[in-house]
Amino acid sequence: MNTVYFLNIEKFNDPGIYMEARRHISEERNRKADSMARMPGKFRSVGAGYLISIGLEAAGLSPFEERIAYSTYGKPYLPDHPDVHFNVSHSGNYVVGAFADKTVGIDIEEIHEIKPSLVKYAFNKREAAIYDSLPESEKLNFFFENWTGKEAFLKHIAKGLSVRPAEIYAKYEKQINSLNFYSWHDIPGYVITLCSALERPDLIEIQL
């Protein structure tokens, strides 16, 4: 069950594929997709729901019957199955979902140019010094691995972005040092990072 799935939601531009995916997701997720005003939002919602269905089925559960609840900061969980954990994220044309027997947090970000103000917001002094010392060709990968790692950690502890990224390590140093962080660059132009006590899980692309 310890697996990370990813899906290219551009495939939903094919109406047949899109409607078939919608048949495999819960009524709640379909209602959420219908509430979105624009297609990118609908595609992301359906994509996340589709990955949730795949992950729950892999765990021997029904995506149509299981109750999904949400923490104060919006992290989904299964109140009837505390031994099954999952987390989803989306960016650009991709949705990712992590499913495990331990608590997980996952984040995906599309790599793009960043402003100095964002570096200051995201990094503490030590991280900023490392960033400044890197060749220009390595800075963006370092930034987005760090950024997705922090988001994944906050999702792991069900806090969302409730803490300024530059302050996360100082506040949660002991917890951070007890966890594993894994990053993938399998999708050109994107970074995926998982935070968990797991060993490195498999990364699988879902083909529609």
- Asked if residue 159 has pLDDT above 90, the reply is no
The rounded percent of the chain whose pLDDT value lies above 70 is: 100
Position with higher pLDDT, 37 vs 161: 37
55: three-class secondary structure by DSSP: helix
Instruction: Specify the DSSP class assigned to residue 61.
Output: -
Give the domain ranges of the chain.
Answer: 3-205
Read off the tokens for 62: 């029904």
Q: Which of 199, 194, 195, 170 is nearest to 184 (CA)?
A: 194
143 to 70, 140, 147, 149, 161: CA distances (angstroms) = 29, 5, 6, 10, 17
pLDDT in the model for residue 52: 96
Q: What's the CA gap between 187 and 32, in Å, rounded?
A: 27
CB 104 within 8 Å of CB 200: no
Band (163; pLDDT cuts 50, 70, 90): confident
Q: What is the pLDDT of residues 101-135, one digit of tens each?
A: 999 999 999 999 999 999 999 999 999 999 999 99
Q: What's the CA gap between 170 and 152, in Å, rounded?
A: 16
Instruction: State pTM to two decimals.
Output: 0.95
95: three-class secondary structure by DSSP: strand
Q: How many helices (H) and strands (E) does the chain have?
A: 7, 9
Does domain 3-205 fall into CATH 3.30.1490.20?
no
Read off the tokens for 2: 């310890």
